[in-house]
Amino acid sequence: MIGRLNHVAIAVPDLAAAAAQYENSLGAKVGPPQDEPDHGVTVVFIELPNTKIELLYPLGDNSPIQAFLDKNPAGGMHHMCFEVEDILAARDKLKSEGARVLGDGDPKIGAHGKPVLFLHPKDFNGCLIELEQI
């Protein structure tokens, strides 16, 4: 069911500084900031040869990333995203095995314009998992 690693997301307290660090210090290809109001974040994608890194910054007062940064002021890894061919089939299989899908359980459109779901970190060794339909 699980496909390739699509991205690793890192919550950052300063989006411009983090993007500049990846671009200037590491020589990475860094995309422009992209607001995602439905998810309460501004994202910047860093392109790597085999995957991406997603920098996350709070957008709005109710951003879940702000709550994460309140607990982790220096930032840190927020989630991993894996590709799946059929997000509804993946959701149903995982739910039948006891995994908890966050939110209302229905996919939302993510930063790549594709359906995404998040799985509770307590069900996956303390790591928030995002599934993205390819």
Q: List active site positions.
A: 130
Q: What is the DSSP letter of 132?
A: E
Which two tokens mark 58?
Answer: 């709070």
Cα 8 from Cα 85, distance rounded (Å): 19
**Cβ-based burial of 55 (10 A; exposed 0-12, middle 13-18, buried ≥19):** buried
With 0-12 / 13-18 / 19 or more C-beta atoms within 10 angstroms meaning exposed / middle / buried, residue 102 is middle
